[in-house]
Structure 1
Amino acid sequence: MKKNKISFETTFWAHQELENPFEVIDAFLGCESLSFFKQTLSEIVFYRSKDEIYQKECPGDVFFTYTALRSFLRACSALQHKSKKWKVTEVSVEKRSILSQASLTVEEYENPFVVFQNAFAEHSLADFEFFLCEIIHLSLRPTIVEFDSDLLTPYIHVIKMLDASQLLLESQVEKINQ
């Protein structure tokens, strides 16, 4: 049975359709820094419970961030299956620090693919896309709206996926010969 390939929908922000999840991650973290995406996501989550509109002066930036994060989540969904085919070579001792570990556990730091597996074991891609759409929607409303879904757990997973993706870029990733 042939697997259906998921489109990463990178055309909006990368100006081309990328088909490899590693290329998507590289382009995603190449268009803006890791700290930018973490800070922006944190601000969006913060504004979801305020009676102010996030980025009122330039809401187009929010749309750009939404499309890039959505592509990022789709690439992360594909990366959850890559741990059987790819491995991260050990990060050099001089690069290893508690600060570069960020939100990751020791196990996740040694194998960033675990982050993607854990996230998508707990939530589906549709759940993460709903989370992203919901926080964007709530942060762009001028009033506070009650919501009954868990927005904290997906947020934590996305932050961990951002850190794991940065680690993948900084590490050597090589294909396992089977």
Structure 2
Amino acid sequence: MKKNKISFETTFWAHQELENPFEVIDTFLGSESLAFYKQTLNEIVIYRSKDEVYKKECPGDVFFTYTALRSFLRACSALQHKNKKWRVTEIAAERRSILSQASLTIEEYENPFIVFHNAFAEHSLADFEFFLCEVIHLALRPTIVEFDSDLLTPYIHVIKMLDASQLLLESQVEKIEINE
């Protein structure tokens, strides 16, 4: 049975359609820093419960960030299946500290693919896209709106996926040869 290939929809922010999830992650974290994305996502989540509009002076920036984060989530969805096919072989010596572990457990730090697998075992890509759309929608409203969906759990998973992606970029990753 042939798998349906998901489009990462990178044209809006990367100005080209990327087809490899590793390229998407590289371009995503090359366009802005990990700290920028984590800070922006944190601000968006905070503004969802304020009666102020997030970045009202330049809402286009929010749309641009939304499209990049959406592509990032789509690439992470593809990476969830790489857990058994790829592995981190070496983490740069200067990155080996408890601070570089960030939100990751020791097991996730040693194998960042676990983060993607766990996130998508708990939530679907549609759930993560709904979370992203919902928090941005709420952050761009001038009034506080009650919501009944869980926005905290997907937020934590996205932060972990950001940290795992940065770790993948800074590490050596190799494909595992599977003998059957």
- For the aligned pair, the TM-score class normalised by the smaller chain equals over 0.9
- Helix, strand or coil: the match of 1:97? coil
For 1:91 and 1:120, the matched residues in 2 are separated by 24
- The aligned runs of 1:43-58 (5 Å cut-off) are 43-58=43-58
Alignment check: 8 A CA contact 1:90 1:110 kept: no
- Helix, strand or coil: the match of 1:43? helix
| Structure 2: unaligned runs, 5 residues or longer | none
State the TM-score, normalizing by the size of structure 1. 0.99
| Cα deviation 1:133-165 (Å, max 9, x = unaligned) | 000000000000000000000000000000000
User: 2:145: which partner in 1?
Assistant: 145
Deviation of 1:93 (Å) = 3.8
Deviation of 1:175 (Å) = 0.9
User: 1:18: which partner in 2?
Assistant: 18
Runs of 4+ in 1 over 4 A off after TM superposition: none
| Amino acid of the structure 2 residue aligned with 1:37 | Y
1:27 lines up with 2:27 in the alignment: yes
| Structure 1: unaligned runs, 5 residues or longer | none
Alignment check: 8 A CA contact 1:91 1:171 kept: yes
For 1:34 and 1:92, the matched residues in 2 are separated by 17
1:175 lines up with 2:175 in the alignment: yes
Q: CA RMSD in A?
A: 0.7
Q: Aligned residue pairs: how many?
A: 178
Deviation of 1:95 (Å) = 2.2
- The aligned runs of 1:59-74 (5 Å cut-off) are 59-74=59-74
- Helix, strand or coil: the match of 2:9? coil
State the TM-score, normalizing by the size of structure 2. 0.97
- The aligned runs of 1:37-48 (5 Å cut-off) are 37-48=37-48
| Amino acid of the structure 2 residue aligned with 1:53 | V
